[in-house]
Structure 1
Amino acid sequence: MKNINEILTLTDEIEIIEAVGTIIWDKKQEADELSEGETNFILIDIFEGAINEGGFLHFFSNEVGDYAREVLEAYKKIGAPKTANIIAKAIGLFGINNFHDELEKRKNAIAKLDENALSGWEDLEEIFFEDEQEEDVVTLIVEYIRNNTSDFNYV
């Protein structure tokens, strides 16, 4: 099933996300350029994976952290301002001008963080996981796809 309209007829939102995700990841592996909507989808997917695997420390300590600002914007674009705010606060714990998009510079900055910043990330993780019920990202992503079908138009 590759037609976005067919995918959107599925009743289970998780099935919709999995179907769209499979197509996007396959497209990405073929080195095709992704649309803005597909890129936002991927950014949220990699962020959620990193956070679920090891929290903000894991996210920022790996290459996916290079895209922290883009991830924040992706959440705004799908209509998830509370999650975007949590990410903004997590970036802010680096201190003014201490967050870097480059992994090695960011790792050096992480090594210099005090315990307050690290415990701040843990506090934000708790809020993130608690607020998932309040801001249903799965539903927001499906609505984003519905409202931007031209970005997800597969033949």
Structure 2
Amino acid sequence: MTKILNVNQEIMSKINNILKLEDEVAIIEAVGTLIWDKKEETEDFSSLTDEEKVFVFIDIFEGAMGEGGFEFFFSSESGNFVEEIITSYQEINAIKTAELISNAVKIFPKGYDTNLETRIAAIEKADENTISGWEDLDELFFTNETEEDVVTLIVNYIKANESQFGN
């Protein structure tokens, strides 16, 4: 029992030290490393707190968008978590970004499906209006037209829920 307490105190000390950093990107990267290391203990997200899952789902989305925008996001496993991702953005108060993702889902051909193979087949048959719609939303996302500072919102969320990170 003492060993568990010492491990928990060590993790909390790490989170406290991370949150003292002045660079918000450095905070996110350090917290991300802790969470992804913790996630590696299981094949799913069951070892993570709800607050850590919020962080992970946003990280998954941001990574997919960086790889190739909405078309890439929808045609990858990342798209399996679209509802969780939208909810995660809402949770950190990035309401406009959540709405942007919802709008991308709404123009998905023949309705959105969480099955990857079904989504890929639909994307392959998508018309120019769908692809163009996603490209327009990509531009809004990447030019920060939502006017939301997601980095600051995530850091504020971590600080507000500090005790739920790294446990």
Give the TM-score taking structure 2 as reference length. 0.86
Contact 2:100 2:137 in 1 (8 A): yes
Give the TM-score taking structure 1 as reference length. 0.92
- The 3 A distance-change label for structure 1 pair 133 and 94 is closer
Q: State the 1:151 CA deviation.
A: 1.5
Number of the residue aligned with 1:19: 30
Contact 1:99 1:109 in 2 (8 A): no
Number of the residue aligned with 1:100: 113
The answer for unaligned runs of 5 or more in structure 1 is none
Q: Whose radius of gyration is greater, 1 or 2? A: 2
Q: Does 1:127 align with 2:164?
A: no
Contact 2:97 2:146 in 1 (8 A): no
Number of the residue aligned with 1:148: 161
Cα shift readout 1:78-121 (whole Å, capped 9, x = no counterpart): 110111011000000115x6200110111122123211010000
Task: Report the AA paired with residue 12 of structure 1.
Answer: D
Once residues 8 and 133 of structure 1 are traced to their aligned partners in structure 2, the CA distance between those partners, rounded to angstroms, is: 26
Q: State the 1:133 CA deviation.
A: 7.6
Q: Which contiguous aligned blocks of 4+ residues in structure 1 show a shift greater than 2 angstroms?
A: none
Structure 2 SS opposite 1:64: helix
Once residues 136 and 102 of structure 2 are traced to their aligned partners in structure 1, the CA distance between those partners, rounded to angstroms, is: 14
The number of residue pairs the alignment matches comes to 153
Q: State the 1:132 CA deviation.
A: 6.2
Q: State the 1:21 CA deviation.
A: 0.3
Q: Does 1:46 align with 2:60?
A: yes
Q: State the 1:150 CA deviation.
A: 2.1
Number of the residue aligned with 2:97: 83
Once residues 130 and 86 of structure 1 are traced to their aligned partners in structure 2, the CA distance between those partners, rounded to angstroms, is: 13
Contact 2:60 2:78 in 1 (8 A): yes
Q: Compute the RMSD of aligned alpha carbons.
A: 1.7
Once residues 164 and 114 of structure 2 are traced to their aligned partners in structure 1, the CA distance between those partners, rounded to angstroms, is: 26
Identity of aligned residues (%): 54
